[in-house]
Structure 1
Amino acid sequence: MQPTPAEVARTLAAGHLPAVAHIACRPGPIPVRHVTDAQGHVLLLSPADGAFSTALRPQPGTDDTAMVLDITDVPPVAGSPGLGRVWVSGWAKRLEGDEALQATLEYAEIDASGDLLDVGDSQVLHRMDVAEVRFERNEKLVDVDPDDFAVASPDPLRQIEFDLITDLADHHLAEMSAYVRRQLGSTFQPKDEPRVVRMDRYGFLVRLDEKLARLAFPRPVTDRHDLAHLLHPVLCHRCGS
């Protein structure tokens, strides 16, 4: 198993990667902070008098503005392949009153930024209702259904992927190398030590000389503790024998 395009798109749009906004009939792109809430709406946090908030001021007679959020993956370590790029399109509306308060709480569940304390004063929140999602990887463009995007969940390991990969490289390289070689059997034995270069809930990607191989977990993992439990037989191979 491996992540679906909807799951990768939600992971990229979760709120932990830099993003820029392209706003209809406005110069840009404009950097903006964001998260995607549990319902699949994009929340956008910005200074009340900043370029982004100014550009999103709706035309007379309307209360929202068309925009595209553009997010490109940042690989966790050197040699890691990128997950791709996602464009999330929709209509953004400034939130006020109770809506802004509720959105502030939802934003804080994902990114507890201190600027959230100033929402309604020097900071504002906009919510973008998603109308279209496009995901690109390796020059292949995929249209993701907005409903699939809304119900997909971001990968639980993405925020700690760097820590996990560097820990394996620094402390468990021999065990992981032996495990990978056992999985490969006699079909392919790399000259260099196999190295984990990406991880997600479904498995990990290993660099084998100039090739990449994906090894799957027996089941999707839910968090770091669950991953540690699943990897214990791998990292302590002699313990399980």
Structure 2
Amino acid sequence: MSPSARDAEVPEPTTAERVHSLLSATSSLTVRACGEHHDLESPVSVHDSRLRLRAPLGTPLTTAAAGATEGLAVVLDVTDIAPVAVRDRVRARLTLAGRLHLAHLADDGLSVHLRVDVAHAVLATPYGTGALTADDLALATPDPLARYEAAMLTHLADDHADALAVLTRLLDPDLLAQHPDVRPLALDRHGLVLRLDHPHGHRDVRLVFPEPAADTEDFGHRMHQLLTATQHGLPAHRI
């Protein structure tokens, strides 16, 4: 169960949106094919249910793909790691199955563009597991903050610890009884997730924005609204 799943009214990204966002923000993944694991440093773009990535020319992976006229059966693994240092930094593990095809030679002449036709995917988080089909992925869009999330969370943790302390006023006091270390764990257009870390474990809490953030500038306005809410004792969180 997610930090906000106990309250059906709390908005949060769907599984397909989370997958799309994770893919759009990642720069590394592992491709499993022909009994081998191939680690790639590559940005990923999503077009409908097709992924675009690149790999060095002449590797065992690209050689195998070149010989597979119907596409090479592959499994892709992507790990979502929190950019801020917290206990249990793995936020999600994504597994996608599909067929890999060579697209075309890259402009540098040293790498090749690849296309993966996704068949299905599974996203596993500490709160549960969600599955989706190629159609689900094709209909989803990435969160507008996904590409900037790591930088914004790091900035919040490093430069605005005072703001995090203020935001805890929105929480149930019982959650703060053990004086947890409060760190920003994740964010999306719907809100900010805080990790409450104490010696015996941790708990994640979602602070919900009054309205979804459309972009990074809008995110600043939504954060200001949350901070303002603390002055009036307004309930702005769900667990």
- TM-score strictly above 0.5: yes
Q: Which residue of 2 aligns with 1:45?
A: 54
Higher alpha-carbon deviation: 158-167 or 224-233: 158-167
In the superposition, relative to structure 1, how do residues 15 and 93 fare at CA in structure 2: closer, same or farther (>3 Å)? farther
In the superposition, relative to structure 1, how do residues 188 and 46 fare at CA in structure 2: closer, same or farther (>3 Å)? closer
| Residue 215 (structure 1) shift | 1.0
- Over the aligned positions, Cα root-mean-square deviation in angstroms equals 2.7
| Residue 157 (structure 1) shift | 2.5
| Residue 194 (structure 1) shift | 3.4
- The Cα offsets for residues 19-38 of structure 1, whole Å up to 9 and x where unpaired, read as 11111xx2311112251323
Counterpart of 1:177, as a letter, is A
| Residue 13 (structure 1) shift | 2.1
Q: Distance in 1 between matches of 2:49 and 2:43?
A: 12
- Give unpaired runs (5+ residues) of structure 2: 1-10, 233-239
How many residue pairs match? The answer is 215
| Residue 177 (structure 1) shift | 1.8
> Where is the strand percentage greater, Structure 1 or Structure 2?
2
Conserved 8 A contact 2:23-2:46: no
In the superposition, relative to structure 1, how do residues 49 and 92 fare at CA in structure 2: closer, same or farther (>3 Å)? same
Is 1:87 the counterpart of 2:67? The answer is no
In the superposition, relative to structure 1, how do residues 71 and 193 fare at CA in structure 2: closer, same or farther (>3 Å)? closer
Q: Distance in 1 between matches of 2:25 and 2:154?
A: 22
- The Cα offsets for residues 20-62 of structure 1, whole Å up to 9 and x where unpaired, read as 1111xx2311112251323231112112212221121234xx3
| Residue 155 (structure 1) shift | 2.7
Mapping 1:218-229, distance limit 5 Å: 218-229=210-221
In the alignment, which of 184, 194, 205 is matched to residue 171 of structure 2? 184
Is 1:173 the counterpart of 2:161? The answer is yes
Is 1:18 the counterpart of 2:57? The answer is no
In the superposition, relative to structure 1, how do residues 35 and 15 fare at CA in structure 2: closer, same or farther (>3 Å)? farther
- SS of equivalent residue, structure 1 residue 221: coil
| Residue 186 (structure 1) shift | 4.7
Is 1:117 the counterpart of 2:107? The answer is yes
| Residue 65 (structure 1) shift | 1.6
Counterpart of 2:96, as a letter, is V
In the alignment, which of 5, 12, 15 is matched to residue 15 of structure 2? 5
| Residue 193 (structure 1) shift | 5.8
- Give unpaired runs (5+ residues) of structure 1: 101-115
In the alignment, which of 132, 135, 142 is matched to residue 154 of structure 1? 142
Q: Distance in 2 between matches of 1:145 and 1:18?
A: 22
Q: Which residue of 2 aligns with 1:108?
A: none
Aligned identity (percent) is: 28
In the superposition, relative to structure 1, how do residues 139 and 220 fare at CA in structure 2: closer, same or farther (>3 Å)? closer
| Residue 79 (structure 1) shift | 0.8
- SS of equivalent residue, structure 2 residue 213: coil
Q: Normalized against structure 1, the TM-score is what?
A: 0.76
Conserved 8 A contact 2:29-2:76: yes
